[in-house]
Structure 1
Amino acid sequence: MTKTKNKTDELVFLPLGGSNEIGMNLNAYGFGPEGDKKWIVVDVGVTFAGEEGIPGVDLILPDPEFLETNKDDILAIVLTHAHEDHIGAMGWLWPRFPAPVYATPFTAHLLRDKLRERGIERKVPLHEVPLKHRFQIGPFDIEYVTLTHSIAEPNGLAIHTPLGTVMHTGDWKIDIDPLIGEQTDSARIRQIGDDGVLAMVCDSTNVFSEGEAGSEAGVRDGLFEAIAEQKGKVAVACFASNVARILSTVEAATAAGRSVSLIGRSMLRITGAAKAVGLLQDATFIEPEMARHLPDDKVLYLCTGSQGEPRAALARIAEGSHPFVTLGRGDTCLFSSREIPGNERAILELQNKLAMRGVNIITGKDRHIHVSGHPCRDELRAMYEMVRPQIAIPTHGEQRHLMEHAKFALSLQVPEALAVKNGDMIRLAPGPAAVIDEVPNGRLLVDGDAIIASDSETIRDRIRLSEHGYVMVSIAIDAKGRIKAGPDVRARGLSERNGSPAEGRLEQLADAAEEAFNRLKPDQRMDEEAAEGFVMRAVRKACDRIFGKRPIVDVVVMTI
């Protein structure tokens, strides 16, 4: 039972990631009077840098500043499922707002790997709970509700409070034959709706798509047909997290007389987790070293890298640099995955490289070998008919998705619908739903083993280096401030112009540096920091005149 409500209590929802974008989900619910709320966090995900123009950065995290500030009032972190955009930031961000973590077995297994990589596995109180589990923590009575999605054990959360129940869907669709796991628990969802739902926070990914996403059973049939037709080697690229798709591929390969080899770390990690929790028990795989000795029509490679990731297995195969796998004329690669927005160019480049090797490319546009894991409009309509919330809060989408979802919810007779953005604190009760505050929000970048701000000087310098290049000037002076050696000028990333080689024009930069230094008074020359700054500004202007660029310029003045 939830605690008795007080007159000053309010229930709020706070998205810090995943609203105004697809991915990087980080949400929080607060209950209590103003200034004294208790919180639960739902999902702590990442997004990938992709084509966002951030040199040297692969992972992007939501900024948890608000949660850090209120960390003593966070009662729990509850994870809906194991996709990277829902758990991928846990290893990086948990130390900033430490709290007990709740997850179902498959999610917990994969999470332990992430925590182990960051060296904090033993520090995190991780509670592995069964499907359909219900538990009380502070004013929150939290219930796991079984849904279907493109990963094992996807869950919605029914969050019961003294001011009403919130249905937080996480990622979902309605799949009548998911192959792995149970069907959507429609009976329980409808019962929750009968009991009364204050608000539903709901997936918006496919709100522009009519109809239904489709079932994994249909994809299974498509894979059986497509794989059976091939004569040479076959590679199937899919999301490693889609255990049902892996199972379908294995069964299709077996029916075609092919052995399956897993290619890519994520494939090994996910299949290991699936077997550990009782999934994929009958699936068998062979090592890549053994697979390369089989006849071409007896092998199938199950690969990571469907999004064109440069270091993934399929990219190395396309480059011809994989140690065990080669694909060429007469072979086929099936892309059993969707194109994540922003990855289109990378995927096309990958497919072109494979095509240049003579590999036949089959995608979901050619054959029925992929379905989305997110609800289309018919499924959204069905969910709203079951839940019947008073308030619709679209999430997991860009702004246009959220606005369309809010409009769609109103057309389904939902009394209130709000299209919000990261950082908006929404009061759900009491009174009408409204944005009552905006808290700090944004993005952090994983740079090697460090977390840095997205507007840090490090990133600004990298972008400038990539766009404008780099110049180094060194000058040696004597004790009276006279030049004894140099200026010596070195440059990187400056191109030819008007047929004149960059290296041949560096003398002009050296002349500009010497002229600037000689304009300084004797006492200014002996102030190395001031002299370096003066020469740097002169060389930068000269670069603009000579190269049409304003590179990063470093100047070193040394007394010898």
Structure 2
Amino acid sequence: MSVRLKKDSLYFLPLGGVNEIGMNLNLYGYNDQWIMVDLGTSFADDAMPGVDMVVPDVTWIADRKDQLLGIVLTHAHEDHLGAISHCWDDLQCPVWATGFAASVLRRKLAEKGMVDDVPLHIYEPGDLIELGPFKIRSMNITHSTPESQALAIETPRGVVLHTGDWKLDPRPMLGPKTEIEALRGYGDRGVLALVCDSTNVFSRGTSGSEGEVHDSLIPLLRDKPGRIAVTTFSSNLARLETLFAVAVELGRHVCLIGRSMHRFIAAAQENGYLKHIPNQVDEREAGFLPREKIMYICTGCQGEPRGAMARIAFGSHPHVVVSPGDTVVFSSKIIPGNERTLFKLHNELVLKGIEVITEKDAFVHVSGHPSRDELAEMYAMARPQIAVPVHGEPRHLVEHARFAQSLQVPHGIVPRNGDLIRLAPGEPDVVEQVPAGRLAIDGDELIPIQGGTLQMRRKLAFNGSVTVSLAVDRDGLLLAPPQVSMAGVVNFEPDEVDADIAEDIADAIDKLRPGPQREDAALEQVSQRAVRAYLKGLNGRKPVIQVHVLRLT
């Protein structure tokens, strides 16, 4: 698809991260040169059997990779950097990251043997990155992971403030506070556009401080008699710092459970964070301690089947058990779409006599994203001409644009993935829609979500399968009765049904005339028709039917 870009115009193009939360990919273009801010993953849904994660389709910018100057990462969360190892072969451009984000990224690259392939540059907060017509200055901004950065992107057409994920936390447990004065300074000099996080636009007040979570957990957990297990995102290092402090005050040893927990802590320690984990014990030794002396900190806060918390709850963890009188705290947000999986996990724990505490029951979590009052403060500091909401579903983006305009922002534009938005000159406008989409991570491959592989899996999941094996001679005559096997088609023992279907297939084949009607393709077709006809009368199922013809000559 040919897109006409005007010289001396500044463009913003999201290929992921709008009309959804996650999978962030933001492009800025000027004079046929582009920079990318973030390249992340998102969770798959129930319509993608066998798939855990998805990535944005980068085809549009990959076709122009000679014009792509580089990728600048705002922070170390999966939904902002997790797709680089999957998409870099198509882009092959340098990547800029802070030290901590670089440590996390290197581990992901190492898993695919790509550490030496990707040109990875480290930038410090406050550094200036110059890429063609773009001068990018980074600023510390608080979030749930260290070294989160807002970016001031200076262009010949004006300054764009790209917030990344952020909040205004007066008591962060890890890392510096938001650089308020730097943000105000850009507002004083003039900001063309604010490209801003929309996650909590419907939440009144402020998102709360990590320090307040610490203050809440102490009295909540002080008198718990048994083991305490807390599950949270392994990338939420601010929460881990909080939990370490809580464990010390409660006189409990810390035991970390889950591979990703150890990976993120190792990356943090490489960069000077979480250097001391108090009273840490190995999971193989923790069971020998008195129950009231241990705090497990686990992965799996969203109920992921392979997460540590699910394995503990369902009794499949090799070293960790919980029992009646213990307490499990889900110190995280219940992400929309995960309710069913999480409630199943909660119920399993409760049935075992374990107390379950979630964000709905007590103050055990604060968001890493800004609520309404923080958004108002950001707009008061930046005073942009244009509000561009990102990082949200459609209802978040529309409300964010309305809210910004109520704060006297002259223009608000609600993007969709693939909207090519001209920011300047003139009023902001969507000038074209370019191809955008998602690809599923299937093993080591990226596959189309609407492609044949996932379509077949969906059909198998809902309708089951029937396999027919035919042994015929050179003339297409059956040498033995057809062999039929079914999976997920009937709700009872299928042996009798298999025999009936085999008989119908044999009758259909016997009626065929010699010659072309007994070629392999014709035998497959008549067998499939016989199976469909039988099952239509039995239960209406339309399974995937495979016919194997073995011709003995």
Q: TM-score range by the shorter chain?
A: over 0.9
Matched-pair contact (CA < 8 Å) for 1:200–1:393: yes
Counterpart of 1:10?
A: 9
| 1:412-451 aligned within 5 A | 412-451=407-446
| 1:156-175 aligned within 5 A | 156-175=150-169
Match of 1:547 among 532, 539, 547: 539
| Distance across 1 between alignment mates of 2:507 and 2:39 | 56
Letter of the structure 1 residue corresponding to residue 130 of structure 2: Q
Letter of the structure 2 residue corresponding to residue 85 of structure 1: D
| Distance across 2 between alignment mates of 1:316 and 1:434 | 50
| Distance across 1 between alignment mates of 2:525 and 2:8 | 58
| 1:141-156 aligned within 5 A | 141-156=135-150
Deviations 1:96-121 (A, max 9, x none): 11111001111111010011111111
Flag structure 2 segments of 5+ consecutive residues without an equivalent. none
| 1:82-161 aligned within 5 A | 82-161=76-155
What is the RMSD of the two structures over their aligned residues, measured on CA atoms?
Answer: 1.4
Offset of 1:542 from its aligned partner? 2.4
State the SS of the aligned residue for 1:19: coil
> What stretches of structure 1 move > 4 A for 4+ residues in a row?
none
Letter of the structure 2 residue corresponding to residue 108 of structure 1: A
Counterpart of 2:400?
A: 405
| Distance across 2 between alignment mates of 1:483 and 1:282 | 74
Matched-pair contact (CA < 8 Å) for 1:106–1:152: yes
State the SS of the aligned residue for 1:390: strand
State the SS of the aligned residue for 1:392: strand
| 1:164-313 aligned within 5 A | 164-284=158-278, 285-313=280-308
Matched-pair contact (CA < 8 Å) for 2:505–2:526: no
Letter of the structure 2 residue corresponding to residue 449 of structure 1: D
Letter of the structure 1 residue corresponding to residue 236 of structure 2: N
Offset of 1:175 from its aligned partner? 0.4
Matched-pair contact (CA < 8 Å) for 2:133–2:155: yes
Counterpart of 1:3?
A: none
Number of aligned residues = 547
Are 1:522 and 2:514 matched, yes or no?
A: yes
| Distance across 2 between alignment mates of 1:443 and 1:520 | 47
| Distance across 2 between alignment mates of 1:363 and 1:557 | 56
Which deviates the most, 481-490 or 300-309?
481-490
Counterpart of 2:27?
A: 28
Deviations 1:420-452 (A, max 9, x none): 110101000111100011111111001112111
| Distance across 1 between alignment mates of 2:234 and 2:225 | 25
Q: Percent identity, please.
A: 48
Which deviates the most, 463-472 or 475-484?
475-484
| Distance across 2 between alignment mates of 1:479 and 1:110 | 61
Against the structure 1 CA distance between its residues 420 and 152, is the aligned structure 2 distance closer, same or farther, given a 3 Å change threshold?
same
Matched-pair contact (CA < 8 Å) for 1:228–1:252: no
Counterpart of 2:474?
A: 479
| Distance across 2 between alignment mates of 1:408 and 1:369 | 29
Question: TM-score, with normalisation over the residues of structure 1?
Answer: 0.96
State the SS of the aligned residue for 1:260: strand
| Distance across 2 between alignment mates of 1:296 and 1:321 | 20
State the SS of the aligned residue for 2:439: strand
Matched-pair contact (CA < 8 Å) for 1:524–1:531: no
Matched-pair contact (CA < 8 Å) for 1:199–1:391: yes
State the SS of the aligned residue for 1:273: helix
State the SS of the aligned residue for 1:201: strand
State the SS of the aligned residue for 2:479: strand
| Distance across 2 between alignment mates of 1:150 and 1:516 | 66
Are 1:537 and 2:529 matched, yes or no?
A: yes
Matched-pair contact (CA < 8 Å) for 2:512–2:518: no
| Distance across 2 between alignment mates of 1:418 and 1:517 | 64
Offset of 1:63 from its aligned partner? 0.7
Which deviates the most, 384-393 or 357-366?
357-366
Offset of 1:512 from its aligned partner? 2.7
Counterpart of 1:462?
A: 457
Question: TM-score, with normalisation over the residues of structure 2?
Answer: 0.97
